[in-house]
């Protein structure tokens, strides 16, 4: 009787929190809940209820893609809703991940980290939980933890993440409706889109590991990581050549630094920092005239673009639901 009353109370709370989100979904959930709760043993309900339940995430989908403005009230609604859902299904990793996402954008970083850590614990093979946690650590300047979590992330098989999204009633709802929430899902296109997004995110993870080692001034590890990543089929290798040059410069490996900076400048001739450090490297090599010319070019480029490429990259960092 006590369990029954507790479950009914949770359901009532869930309905109250979800009224503004989707009445149709809640009606379906209500019917499913009572059928399952009264026909099946209570502990079986927890593992089966999601087969009858789709979470309406339209706003979060569009917000994550930059198609909706920030709405504090909507984020609070989702937090209230998924907290109640976790009271009923505490092992639901996706709910923890969504709560982490929402808490982060409401400015509650500690809570966001805790929810993402729990999501990782519950589902250790899902790339996006690690990625978002790594981004939070990076943006809060906890670079060592960023490296640790992202190094774990890049070792995960992306096919497992795609498979897990397809199995999740919550996340497949996100993915299947991200392009147009009013159109039915095309499973092949959905899988291809997921694969593309994962490729971009894995590359971003490599870059964040590199940037973290740079911030930690661990130039030996920085060089080691870059020499590993640069062998991959990367969309943009320029940042990796640049930071390889930085690593070699601070390690006193000036000849190698010149080679890496030249590779960087060929791919991006407008990065002022590349020419600045190349000029300093020439100076260490006693090539004074070449050093002066290169430093002058760096100064001119800096006047045109006063925001460093590193600062721009940091500003573009966003969490992802998938």
Secondary structure of the chain in the HEC alphabet?
Answer: CHHHHHHHHHHHHHHHHHCCCCHHHHHHHHHHHHHHHHHCCHHHHHHHHHHHCCCCCHHHHHHHCCCCCCCHHHHHHHHHHHHHHHHHCCCCHHHHHHHHHHHHHCCCHHHHHHHHHHHHHHCCCCHHHHHHHHHHHHHCCCHHHHHHHHHHHCCCCHHHHHHHHHHCCCHHHHHHCCCCCCCCCCHHHHHHHHHHHHHHHHHHHHHHHHHHHHHCCCHHHHHHHHHHHCCCCCCCCHHHHHHHHHHHHHCCCHHHHHHHHHHHHHHCCCCHHHHHHHHHHHHHCCCHHHHHHHHHHHHHHHHHCCCCHHHHHHHHCCCCCC
For residues 170 and 147, state if they share a domain.
yes
Same domain flag for 295 and 175: yes
Same domain, 133 and 257: yes
pLDDT score recorded for residue 47: 45
85 and 168, same domain (yes or no) = no
pLDDT of residue 28: 46
The residue range of the domain holding 79 is: 1-124
Domain check: are 205 and 175 in the same one?
Answer: yes
178 and 320 assigned to the same domain: yes
As a whole number of angstroms, the distance between CA 260 and CA 299 comes to 20
Q: State residue 165's pLDDT score.
A: 85
What's the total number of domains in the chain? 2
- Of the residues 124, 158, 178, which one is the last residue of a structural domain? 124
Statement to judge: residues 117 and 134 lie in one domain: no
Per-residue confidence (pLDDT) for residue 308, from 0 to 100: 54
* pLDDT for the residue numbered 314: 53
Where does a domain end: 101, 124, 147? 124
Res 42: pLDDT: 47
Same domain flag for 95 and 3: yes
Say what the pLDDT of residue 194 is.
Answer: 85
In this structure, are 187 and 296 located in the same domain? yes
Statement to judge: residues 226 and 261 lie in one domain: yes
What CATH number is associated with residue 219?
A: 1.25.40.10
165 shares a domain with 258:
yes
Tens digits of pLDDT across the chain (322 residues) = 554 555 555 555 555 554 455 444 444 444 444 444 444 444 444 444 544 445 567 788 788 878 889 999 999 999 998 998 898 888 999 999 999 999 999 999 999 999 999 999 999 999 999 999 999 999 999 999 999 999 999 999 999 998 888 888 777 665 444 445 455 556 677 778 888 889 999 999 999 999 999 999 999 999 999 999 999 999 999 999 999 999 999 999 999 999 999 999 999 999 999 999 999 999 999 999 999 999 999 999 988 766 555 555 555 688 887 7
Instruction: Please identify, among 57, 91, 124, the residue that sits at the C-terminal boundary of a domain.
Output: 124
Please report the pLDDT score of residue 35 as a whole number. Answer: 47
Answer yes or no: do 118 and 132 share one domain. Answer: no
């Amino acid at each position: 009787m006590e369990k029954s009353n507790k479950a009914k109370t949770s359901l009532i709370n869930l309905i109250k929190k979800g009224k503004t989100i989707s009445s149709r979904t809640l009606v379906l959930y209500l019917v499913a809940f009572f059928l399952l709760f009264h026909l099946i043993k209570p502990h079986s309900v927890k593992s089966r209820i999601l087969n009858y339940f789709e979470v309406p995430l339209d706003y979060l989908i569009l917000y994550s893609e930059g198609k909706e403005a920030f709405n504090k009230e909507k984020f609070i609604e989702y937090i209230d809703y998924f907290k109640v859902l976790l009271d009923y299904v505490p092992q639901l990793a996706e709910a923890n991940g969504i709560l982490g996402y929402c808490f982060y954008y409401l400015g509650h970083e500690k809570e966001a980290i805790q929810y993402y850590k729990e999501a990782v614990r519950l589902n250790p093979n899902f790339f996006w939980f690690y990625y978002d946690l790594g981004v939070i650590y990076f943006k809060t300047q906890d670079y060592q933890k960023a490296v640790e979590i992202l190094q774990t992330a890049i070792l995960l098989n992306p096919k497992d993440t795609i498979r897990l999204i397809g199995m999740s009633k919550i996340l497949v709802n996100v993915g299947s409706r991200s392009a147009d929430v009013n159109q039915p899902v095309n499973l092949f296109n959905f899988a291809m889109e997921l694969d593309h997004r994962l490729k971009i995110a894995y590359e971003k993870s490599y870059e964040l590991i590199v940037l973290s080692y740079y911030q930690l001034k661990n130039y030996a590890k920085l060089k080691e990581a870059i020499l590993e990543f640069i062998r991959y089929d990367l969309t943009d290798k320029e940042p990796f050549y640049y930071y390889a040059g930085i690593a070699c410069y601070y390690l006193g490996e000036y000849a190698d630094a010149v080679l890496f900076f030249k590779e960087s400048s060929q791919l991006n001739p407008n990065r002022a920092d590349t020419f600045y450090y190349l000029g300093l490297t020439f100076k260490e090599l006693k090539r004074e005239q070449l050093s002066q010319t290169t430093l002058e070019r760096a100064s001119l480029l800096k006047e045109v673009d006063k925001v460093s490429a590193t600062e721009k990259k940091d500003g573009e960092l966003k969490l992802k639901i998938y």
